[in-house]
Amino acid sequence: MIGQEKEEAGEFLVVDIGDHMDRMAVETEGTLGAANVDVLNLTGYDAITIGNNEGLTFTPEQLAQSYSGLLCPVVCGNVVEQATDLPPVWMKSSLILEKGPFRIGLLGATAPFTAFYELLGWDVLEPIEALREQVEALRSQVDVIVILSHLGLSTDRRLAEQIPGIDVILGGHTHHVLEEPLVIGQTVLGAAGKFGQWLGKVVLEREYGANELTLVSSGCVPVQNMMLEERPGMKLGKRIYSQEGLVLLSDGVELTSRLIGRLKDLGIGYVYIADAATEDIIIPDMLQEETRRRALVEIKQQFQSMSG
């Protein structure tokens, strides 16, 4: 569905609002998030933020390892390391992206479960004040400001009411679904539920010669599961990661010699290339980070050709 939207819309910003890594999923738990990172890369996300599933169920070291293979930036402006009072090296507090004629300012924030984050070596800033400062610093440099908010709907409303200069808030955490646009002042709020069940979409336009953007549409549509199941790349990817997750989580899983010979721990993630005709799993030898990045590009091209 995202691929179709990109084809139809041309310039398109694709983001995730956090909790992509849910350790209740065997694919996530068994690979410590490496499967999720590969899905994000193959889908072509432009940026993501973290939710409490990432921030509180993974150690900082595990997150750093998983995100070392991520091809898009992680944006979150209210989490810093206690040791440095700075964001970790894999996280940006703000980001400017150019899409066609637009300069888009991206900010992010996650729910402040302060006491729990402190146990892991993080400090979590009060999100509204942190975002207020960041919006003021970014506003004059961009055409539109988008907040990736893993704060919940009630806090998103407060952001729109209390901070001038925000154009769009894309929300998560409370799993709310906004099928119709919710506009507070000059700010559009969007949200797409949970578990990848919905695809959210906000469309803005700017008339020729004008400075301000206007809302064309905002809402979300159900993800077409049948379409996903019919795509050979998606079906194969799920089989691979489910298989691997079970292998890594259980010493009692009985494996064929063929699979044992092919499964290898890559240390910084798990990369697979599969034959489209036979679905044989081919796992490269130990990969260094740059080699892994190149392999992901090749995998993405193969998945696209497999999916038509």
pLDDT digits (tens, 9 = 90+) for 160-196: 999 999 999 999 999 999 998 899 999 999 999 988 8
pLDDT of the residue at 15:
95
pLDDT of the residue at 89:
96
Position 267 confidence tier, pLDDT thresholds 50, 70, 90: very low
Number of H helices, E strands in the chain: 12, 16
Gap between the Cα atoms of 166 and 133, Å rounded: 12
Position 225 confidence tier, pLDDT thresholds 50, 70, 90: low
- Rg value, the chain, Cα: 20
Gap between the Cα atoms of 187 and 168, Å rounded: 5
Asked if pLDDT for residue 32 goes beyond 60, the answer is yes
- Evaluated on CA atoms 1, 42, 303, 196, the torsion sign reads negative
For the residues 287-306, what does the mean pLDDT come to?
49
Look at phi and psi of residue 44 and say left if phi exceeds 0, alpha if psi is from -120 to 50, else beta: left
Per the CB < 8 A criterion, the answer to whether 11 and 45 are in contact is: no
Tokens of 136: 């003021």
Angle of the 232-249 helix axis to the 289-307 helix axis, nearest 10: 140
Gap between the Cα atoms of 70 and 90, Å rounded: 9
Gap between the Cα atoms of 52 and 29, Å rounded: 15
pLDDT of the residue at 178:
92
More confident residue, 240 or 35: 35
Query: Does domain 2-223 fall into CATH 1.10.3720.10?
Result: no
Per the CB < 8 A criterion, the answer to whether 142 and 104 are in contact is: yes
For the residues 11-22, what does the mean pLDDT come to?
90
More confident residue, 297 or 8: 8
Percent of the chain with pLDDT over 90: 49
pLDDT of the residue at 275:
35
pLDDT of the residue at 31:
83
pLDDT of the residue at 304:
56
Beta-bridge mates of residue 168: 146, 188
Provide the residue ranges of all domains of the chain, joining segments of one domain with +: 2-223, 227-307
Position 146 confidence tier, pLDDT thresholds 50, 70, 90: very high
Tokens of 248: 């890594």
Q: Would you state the torsion angle of the CA atoms of residues 70, 239, 8, 193, taken in this order, to the nearest 10 degrees?
A: -80
Per the CB < 8 A criterion, the answer to whether 136 and 157 are in contact is: no
pLDDT of the residue at 297:
53
> 70-74, 115-119, 240-244: which range is least confident on average?
240-244
φ/ψ of 279, rounded to 5, equals 60, 25
pLDDT of the residue at 110:
97
